[in-house]
Amino acid sequence: MAQTQQDVLKASKEQCIFCKIISGDISAAKIYEDDKVFAFLDINPVNAGHTLVVPKDHYIVLPQLPDDLAMHLIKVVKYLSGAIFEMTGAHGINIYQNNGAAAGQEVPHVHFHIIPRRQDDNAMSPWNRSKIDPEQLKQIAEEMGKNLKPISSSTVKLSSNTSVSKKTSKPKRKGKPVKVKRRNSTNSP
């Protein structure tokens, strides 16, 4: 990782409330812990059982995670979401993950929300969606597709000293960022 990126992470870690929870400096309602991942109840739950799942190491956004840690984190999210389904008797579960302030991230330490839902609980606002011309949709898909390469799962190993092959792990963005023009918006989720 580049030095500047390490400096940013270090500065952000010093202030990080989730790092303080993981180290035990701040108390939290822990429900799960292993050597890499920690899970605790959200202090402002959408519904009872609303859980936050975080890596013990400090990273700000999901794309920064090493692949093996990302895979383990997702595995824990999967395990806990099943357990929370059963324990809360939820009718549904939302997995929610914000990256960056613009996306609503308040705590700059990667985390997944596991949110148990009840039929018609109206607990979360619907997304503000837009209609799009099918031709424009195709063009956007073409632009995006050009920058993406298949990641072969066989190149990913779960031990900490191996990683995805360099060729496929980090597709570089070429050309201009893709923009979606907003047209008539609807409120359906």
Name the site residues for ligand AMP (rule: CB under 6 A).
17, 26, 28, 42-44, 52, 98, 104-107
When asked if residue 90 is in the footprint of Zn ion (CB under 5 A), the reply is no
- Which of the listed partners (ligand AMP, Zn ion, none) does 19 bind, with a CB threshold of 5 to 8 Å by partner kind? Zn ion
When asked if residue 111 is in the footprint of Zn ion (CB under 5 A), the reply is no
* Cβ partners under 8 Å of residue 77, min gap 6: 53, 95, 112, 114
CB of 34 to ligand AMP, least distance (A): 19
* Contacting Zn ion within 7-46 (CB under 5 A): 16, 18-19
Residue 45 or 151 with smaller CB distance to ligand AMP: 45
Token digits of residue 70: 């990302």
When asked if residue 69 is in the footprint of Zn ion (CB under 5 A), the reply is no
Near Zn ion by CB under 5 A: residue from 28, 49, 58, 81: 58
How far CA 120 is from CA of 51, 90, 117, 125, in Å, comes to: 20, 12, 8, 12
Locate the DSSP E strands across the chain.
30-33, 37-41, 51-55, 92-96, 112-117, 129-130, 185-186
When asked if residue 73 is in the footprint of Zn ion (CB under 5 A), the reply is no
Residue 44 or 125 with smaller CB distance to ligand AMP: 44
Is there a catalytic annotation at residue 111?
yes
- In whole angstroms, what is the distance from residue 70 CA to residue 76 CA? 10
Token digits of residue 152: 């072969």
Q: Tell me 178's DSSP state.
A: P
Nearest to 64 by CA among 140, 12, 141, 15: 12
Handedness of CA 12, 15, 38, 103 (dihedral sign): negative
CB of 146 to Zn ion, least distance (A): 35
Backbone torsions φ then ψ of 30, nearest 5 degrees: -70, 135
When asked if residue 109 is in the footprint of Zn ion (CB under 5 A), the reply is yes
- Which of the listed partners (Zn ion, ligand AMP, none) does 106 bind, with a CB threshold of 5 to 8 Å by partner kind? ligand AMP
Catalytic residue among 50, 72, 111, 113: 111
- Which of the listed partners (Zn ion, ligand AMP, none) does 17 bind, with a CB threshold of 5 to 8 Å by partner kind? ligand AMP
Instruction: Return the active site residues.
Output: 111
